[in-house]
Structure 1
């Protein structure tokens, strides 16, 4: 039954996330937000909704290892699995914004998360507020940079224009479907994960950083693969880096404000978070060596193999 709960939970999260993105974009058009702002903020928040619901649900039920493991594992999967597979499909071109702005913010938040967790053994409400404040500053700077860039280099923002014609009734229905699916999906996933961990004789943390993390990364995988197939290379890389930033700042920030997240498993600090920092850090040498400004198929394969090693060691450990 535990595997069925996990499977159904993941399906509901994917469905819920998709409907929430549609509703959020449709509502944003009604509020007359620009497509650029919708793409940089609304879509990023909506695609982080599965991680957010799972983390809040787990924290409220006392399984804070699932809250942390979900976000840390999701960030590892976004680079190790999603970025790797995307690069194998089509080599990824890297723009200057990646290493001058987005990557430094991701690294800053990754290292900051380590110091927050190692100093007090938890993410307190005040630290959650601090993470959200950093996110607000990041979004302000991101939108300002994007506006400057758009004036000189107009780009396709990947937002579906058809959603601008969605009726209020449709948006409400999408919101209801998305909200209900995300709520029950997170309930089933957390319940199934705890039962599965007990039956396999591993910790909830291991299930969270592997199975749950991959499941909640499905929206990013779909978006990035589609972008790569359409040759929108910068979009797929930006989508992943942005998702990692949102996972730490918004998912853990909001969850900690609702329910402080306590470190229960030592391996979160001694193992998992170092893998997350390592996968984030390795993007810079991969971006410049041996071929500059490109992550090609060979590099993508190396990243995927490293991710498989991480998953294997998590279960063996």
Structure 2
């Protein structure tokens, strides 16, 4: 029955995330918020909602390993799985904003998260507040830097400007309910599955739960790459990782402190996350600069497969 809860939970999270994005963008248009700000903030917050609800639900249910594993595993999956497969299908061109802002912020937050968790083996309210504050600063800088760039604007669906208030309300209702029940069922299923398979909650969360919450990004990337359209950019994936740490763990720990119950999170998983993040710089610059081709994508994806097998074989 646990696999049924996990599948139903993931399906509801995908549905809920989509409705929340659409309703949030439509509501932002009603409030006369600029397309640039909508693209850089509203869309990013809404797409991080599934991870946020799963981590928050897990923390409140007394399953901190799932709360942490979900974020760390999602960050690994965004690079190893999503970026790896997308690059194998269609080579990605990297812009300079990647190494000037996005990548340094992601690495800084990843290292800060490690030291926050290591000191006291808990992510508390003030550390969560510090992560959220860093996200606000990052967004301000990002919006200023992107004022002359249309890439964030391209992500916003203009047709949503015509959405009625009633439809926005219904979408918000569907999105909120789907995310709530989806996160509850996914966490319940993950705990039951870990028990039945004889593995830790951490193993299930950094692998299956994390892959599940990364499915929307993977689907969008693969479809775009197959159609030879502009695939999901590396900047978007890095941005998602930044939101996962600063927003998801930030908000969750401000509501409910997140304990480190499983030592492997600090001795293994977080180093995989740092490794996948760190390897991007040499891959972007060597041997062909500013391009992630099929070979580099294969290297990233194979590394992810190794991570999955090593996690289950512990």
TM-score by length of structure 1 reads 0.96
- Asked if residue 214 in structure 1 is aligned to residue 211 in structure 2, the reply is yes
Asked if structure 2 preserves the Cα contact closer than 8 Å seen for 1:35 and 1:159, the reply is yes
Q: Name the counterpart of 2:292.
A: 295
For the residues of structure 2 that align with 1:22 and 1:160, how far apart are their CA atoms?
Answer: 8
For the residues of structure 2 that align with 1:308 and 1:198, how far apart are their CA atoms?
Answer: 23
Measure how far apart 1:33 and its partner are: 1.5
Write out aligned runs for 1:159-170 (5 A): 159-170=156-167
Write out aligned runs for 1:71-150 (5 A): 71-147=71-147, 149-150=148-149
Structure 2 SS opposite 1:25 = helix
Measure how far apart 1:6 and its partner are: 0.4
Aligned residues: 313
Q: Name the counterpart of 1:232.
A: 230
Structure 2 SS opposite 1:217 = helix
Asked if structure 2 preserves the Cα contact closer than 8 Å seen for 1:220 and 1:239, the reply is no
For the residues of structure 2 that align with 1:222 and 1:29, how far apart are their CA atoms?
Answer: 27
Asked if structure 2 preserves the Cα contact closer than 8 Å seen for 1:223 and 1:236, the reply is no
Asked if structure 2 preserves the Cα contact closer than 8 Å seen for 1:17 and 1:182, the reply is yes
Measure how far apart 1:80 and its partner are: 0.2
Q: Name the counterpart of 1:11.
A: 11
Unaligned runs of 5+ in 1: none
Structure 2 SS opposite 1:38 = helix
Measure how far apart 1:222 and its partner are: 2.8
Residue-by-residue CA offset, 1:58-106 (whole Å, 9 max, x unaligned)? 0001100000000000000000000011111211100000001000000
Asked if structure 1 preserves the Cα contact closer than 8 Å seen for 2:9 and 2:185, the reply is yes
Residue-by-residue CA offset, 1:275-300 (whole Å, 9 max, x unaligned)? 00000000000101111000011111
For the residues of structure 2 that align with 1:4 and 1:52, how far apart are their CA atoms?
Answer: 21
CA RMSD of aligned residues (A): 1.3
Structure 2 SS opposite 1:231 = coil
Residue-by-residue CA offset, 1:112-145 (whole Å, 9 max, x unaligned)? 0000001120100010110000000000000000
Q: Name the counterpart of 1:245.
A: 242
Q: Name the counterpart of 2:262.
A: 265
Measure how far apart 1:230 and its partner are: 4.8
For the residues of structure 2 that align with 1:84 and 1:125, how far apart are their CA atoms?
Answer: 35
Asked if structure 2 preserves the Cα contact closer than 8 Å seen for 1:27 and 1:171, the reply is yes
Asked if structure 2 preserves the Cα contact closer than 8 Å seen for 1:19 and 1:178, the reply is yes
Q: Name the counterpart of 1:32.
A: 32
For the residues of structure 2 that align with 1:53 and 1:156, how far apart are their CA atoms?
Answer: 27
- Asked if residue 203 in structure 1 is aligned to residue 200 in structure 2, the reply is yes
For the residues of structure 1 that align with 2:288 and 2:229, how far apart are their CA atoms?
Answer: 19
In structure 2, do the counterparts of structure 1 residues 222 and 36 end up closer, same or farther at CA, with 3 Å as the change threshold? farther
For the residues of structure 1 that align with 2:220 and 2:238, how far apart are their CA atoms?
Answer: 13
For the residues of structure 2 that align with 1:168 and 1:206, how far apart are their CA atoms?
Answer: 43
Asked if structure 2 preserves the Cα contact closer than 8 Å seen for 1:74 and 1:209, the reply is yes
For the residues of structure 2 that align with 1:122 and 1:266, how far apart are their CA atoms?
Answer: 12
Structure 1 SS opposite 2:119 = helix
Asked if structure 2 preserves the Cα contact closer than 8 Å seen for 1:224 and 1:237, the reply is no
Structure 2 SS opposite 1:75 = helix
For the residues of structure 1 that align with 2:152 and 2:137, how far apart are their CA atoms?
Answer: 23
Measure how far apart 1:223 and its partner are: 3.2
Asked if structure 2 preserves the Cα contact closer than 8 Å seen for 1:224 and 1:239, the reply is no
- Asked if residue 47 in structure 1 is aligned to residue 47 in structure 2, the reply is yes
Structure 2 SS opposite 1:120 = coil
Asked if structure 1 preserves the Cα contact closer than 8 Å seen for 2:39 and 2:153, the reply is no
For the residues of structure 2 that align with 1:221 and 1:175, how far apart are their CA atoms?
Answer: 24
